[in-house]
Amino acid sequence: MTSTDDAPPLRLNGRALGRFSIMAVINRTPDSFYDRGATFGFDAAVAAVDRAVAAGADIVDIGGVKAGPGEEVGVAEELRRVVDVVAAVRDRHPGVVISVDTWRAEVGRAVAEAGADLLNDTWGGPDPELAAVAAEYGTGLVCAHAGALAPRTRPHRIGYADVVADVVAHVTAQAERAVALGVRREAVLIDPAHDFGKNTRHSLEITRRLGELTATGWPVLVAVSNKDFIGETLGQPVERRGVGTLAVLGVSALLGARVFRVHDAAGARRALAAVAAITA
């Protein structure tokens, strides 16, 4: 287990983040698997940020493209969905860390200019210029693993000799490349990206062996909230995966994860407070 004192440094928006940080999901999409477009409108998205910050979120992660297959969303439309929200949130919440979920360098540049602090590249680096953008603008970068899948595609009979070894090799190489390009080491996170390029068995194996990622010394982000591997394991639809999500968050926290990307910021904050109390 990793304590606050020996945790590797993580600094975003001028803030040194502590042992556990909550990243709240803000979907600026009409077709999210979770909220079905409830926060697609500009006002709804900003209000969702307000609620997340009030609930204890340290980071808000704004995304303009659904992760899964669906209607094509070009660069211009993604920009339209996210840039104005980033600017509004920067004005309303100067102390919050603003993350944007994108794999595109063009979008990364625009949101960095609007005030974003972190570029969350959930697809594992399909656009090699994104890391250079993070370096140019001084933002942080999330380096994830998606099994070399193209963005917004699902795995088909994907296999790994050792999924955790594959994840560790990819994300650490991406992280070192980012630092070599000029991204601050203390602003780089790694994410195994549960369910991205993985089946349920892979995602469960990553969770069991998450300590191998935290042992690399890079701060680890886990994005497991209401995902399919939880639903398949428990036999539950999206709307009934909350308890499973909290269980996975607790295990991940015990194994040293630092940032937790969630839909329910308040519930995650309580669960992580319990883990912190138990391990104090």
The whole-number pLDDT of residue 2 equals 46
Distance CA 212, CA 208 (A): 9
The whole-number pLDDT of residue 3 equals 47
* Cα pseudo-dihedral 87, 90, 92, 97, rounded to 10: 140
What is the β-pairing status of strands 118-121 and 59-63?
A: unpaired
Token pair 């945790």 is found at 7
Catalytic residues: 227, 261
Low-confidence ranges of the chain (pLDDT < 50): 1-4
CATH class in words for 11-278: alpha beta
Give the tokens for residue 89.
């949130």
Q: List the beta bridge partners of residue 188.
A: 141
- Residues 24-48 have pLDDT tens digits of 999 999 988 888 889 999 999 999 9
Check if the beta carbon of residue 99 is closer than 8 Å to that of residue 223: no
Regarding pTM above 0.75, the answer is yes
Where along the chain do its domains lie? 11-278
